[in-house]
Structure 1
């Protein structure tokens, strides 16, 4: 059975280092659970993201939210990503999908 695994990488703090309220993550959890019937959040130990900006290496602590579903609606996911970018005050939030097979 083919399904899609969609992951959202969310920052723990804004660009000034101010942590986001836990209610923001609860809101995402509730939205995803309501739409997809369930979700998984990896929040215990933040992952570290690194990328280059000019000559500097930038670091961000992130949490990963993921859902599984039989379909992939790129239009809906694009709109939701833009909503999250506004809500979390980010230039870009990574939302990635991969086709998976349940064994």
Structure 2
């Protein structure tokens, strides 16, 4: 449908790019949570706390808002501004995670006793 040459083709392609991963996440997590709850019934399912959860959600929301704003302003046309912004959000996310990982590894480094 995206390759039929009509103006709606690009919207179908963009919808597929967003809807596919969102569907996989929702269904994958949903089935996992249902299975976990069913297996552990009647006890509650405990989700471990992640200190970087708000950071992850913030960067995800930032990327989605960026895409929404840029696509609406440019009449749903994909261009360098959209791609560059999404790439910047991705690189920021990876950089922050690497800094956090390296920092936590240095804190757990075992030093020999004197």
TM band (smaller chain): under 0.3
Question: Which structure features the higher share of strand residues?
Answer: 1
Structure having greater relative contact order (Cα 8 Å, sep ≥ 6):
1
> Which structure is higher in helix share?
2
With the length of structure 2 as denominator, give the TM-score of the two structures. Answer: 0.25
TM-score by length of 1: 0.27
Report which of the two structures shows the higher radius of gyration computed on alpha carbons. Answer: 2
